[in-house]
Chain A
Amino acid sequence: AQKVTQAQTEISVVEKEDVTLDCVYETRDTTYYLFWYKQPPSGELVFLIRRNSFDEQNEISGRYSWNFQKSTSSFNFTITASQVVDSAVYFCALSPLNAGNNRKLIWGLGTSLAVNP
């Protein structure tokens, strides 16, 4: 089965706090991509990061960092020194590289992050 679990439905923090959003995935594929997308209140889906299953290096982009651990099938996302503008729903998604090059995205339920001033 292919599945993405984001156990945290809602998180509320105060500005400047660090926050980690959890993502656990299931797949039988040995090759796959993992993604994080942000959905601000305006509703669009904004791509944040793509990670290939062969690349377990952690990545940092400004205040954002991602921790990919294949051993625990997790791809967690940390926002350092959160800001009000980070308030959004964050989705983790899995794209198994099955035969056919389809690459549909399988989504988690999302984590709603509220950053309060």
Chain B
Amino acid sequence: EPEVTQTPSHQVTQMGQEVILRCVPISNHLYFYWYRQILGQKVEFLVSFYNNEISEKSEIFDDQFSVERPDGSNFTLKIRSTKLEDSAMYFCASRSGISTDTQYFGPGTRLTVL
């Protein structure tokens, strides 16, 4: 069964460093999402992406964040200058957009900013 994959599973970085979180959505899916979950809290929407552009972003998704689909298979989330409060689990999701509205999630990347 196809699944969303994410790498790395855990990333530790120093405050102020740039990080790139990678996701491979399910092939033939058209809609892509990033969510984050601060430890013990609810899941929060960050950004959605369709047709090679951002379709919606939340207030959390400020200028420090960017997303890209560089090669037709990967979907990346970049944080330019990490802050302590960026420490969270980051989930990628994809949705086919055809006959189903279910978002399927990857296993997550745990980002720890020191």
Contact = CB atoms under 8 A, between A and B. Distances in A.
A109 B42 contact: yes
A50 B101 contact: yes
B43 A103 contact: no
Interface string B72-114: 0000000000000000010100010100111111111010000
A108 B44 CA distance: 10
Contacts of A95: 101
Given A91-B43, A110-B42, A104 B33 contact: yes
A82 B50 CA distance: 40
Interface of A is mostly: loop
Interface stretch (A11-19, A39-47, A66-74): A39-47
Given A42-B107, A45-B91, A102-B50, 13 more contacts: A35-B102, A43-B89, A43-B110, A46-B105, A91-B42, A93-B43, A100-B55, A100-B56, A101-B31, A101-B55, A104-B33, A105-B103, A110-B42
Interface of B: 31, 33, 35, 41-45, 48, 50, 55-56, 89, 91, 95, 97, 100-108, 110
Interface of A: 33, 35, 37, 42-47, 50, 91, 93, 95, 97, 100-110
